[in-house]
């Protein structure tokens, strides 16, 4: 893979294109471009990105994308035959290597893992307790206030119902009769 990386670098330099120009135009990180030119494809995020980066690289420096990808495939096949697993993209490594590597770096000893879990649970409990102490009494007061409002509403409703039952059904006729002139006024108002 080192030879392929040297080929990339030679093609770029022959055309007078800097890595900074490629990085700016393709938005590929400088570290990835440098890794490609060193033949360290294991430092790239994966096989898909290797191919995409190579296409962008080829387009930017002005060489054929398909031709470059064919050379890459040949370099991959040679590296696999030679057993150069370190230079291959992540997906081309042995089965399970990636998972084992990631797991071995991220695993914590059981004691530390348990301690972290206990600390997280305690912090969660303390935050919940603090929230209850700060806002819990407000909710209790609010519920009590709502209960008072409900009682007041019931009392007002009952009073209005009692008053309406005590009064006549026809509010216009207090003495039981309406004069014809009053009736005409009422009719005009309704129109």
User: Hey, which CATH number is domain 2-97, 3.40.630.30, 2.60.40.3950, 1.10.620.20, 1.10.260.40?
Assistant: 1.10.260.40
**What mean pLDDT comes out for the span 15-22?**
94
Tens digit of each residue's pLDDT (9 = 90 or more) over 138-187: 655 655 655 655 666 666 666 656 666 555 555 554 555 555 555 555 55
pTM metric for this prediction: 0.46
pLDDT of residue 17: 93
Tens digit of each residue's pLDDT (9 = 90 or more) over 84-103: 655 556 554 444 444 434 43
For the chain, the structural domain boundaries read 2-97, 108-165
Greater model confidence, 118 or 162: 118
pLDDT of residue 42: 84
**What mean pLDDT comes out for the span 120-148?**
76
Question: What percentage of residues in the chain have a pLDDT greater than 70?
Answer: 57
Give the pair of three-digit tokens for residue 49.
């990105």
pLDDT of residue 120: 92
Q: How confident is the model at residue 28 (pLDDT cuts 50, 70, 90)?
A: very high
Greater model confidence, 178 or 48: 48
Greater model confidence, 102 or 65: 65
- pLDDT of residue 79 exceeding 50: yes
């Amino acid at each position: 893979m080192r030879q392929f990386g040297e080929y990339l670098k030679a093609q770029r330099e022959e055309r007078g294109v800097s890595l900074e120009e490629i990085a700016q135009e393709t938005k590929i990180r400088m570290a990835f471009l440098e890794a490609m030119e060193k033949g360290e494809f294991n430092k790239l995020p994966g096989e898909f990105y290797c191919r995409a980066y190579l296409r962008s690289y080829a387009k930017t420096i002005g060489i054929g994308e398909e031709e470059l990808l064919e050379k890459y495939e040949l370099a991959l096949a040679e590296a696999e035959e030679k057993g150069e697993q370190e230079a291959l993209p992540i997906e081309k490594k042995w089965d399970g290597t990636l998972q084992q590597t990631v797991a071995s770096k991220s695993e914590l000893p059981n004691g530390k893992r348990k301690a972290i879990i206990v600390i997280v649970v305690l912090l969660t409990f303390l935050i919940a307790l603090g929230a209850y102490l700060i806002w819990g009494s407000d909710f209790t007061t609010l519920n009590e206030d709502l209960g008072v409002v409900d009682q007041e509403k019931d009392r007002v409703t009952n009073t209005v119902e009692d008053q309406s039952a005590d009064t006549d059904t026809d509010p216009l006729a207090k003495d039981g009769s309406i004069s014809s002139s009053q009736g005409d006024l009422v009719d005009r108002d309704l129109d």
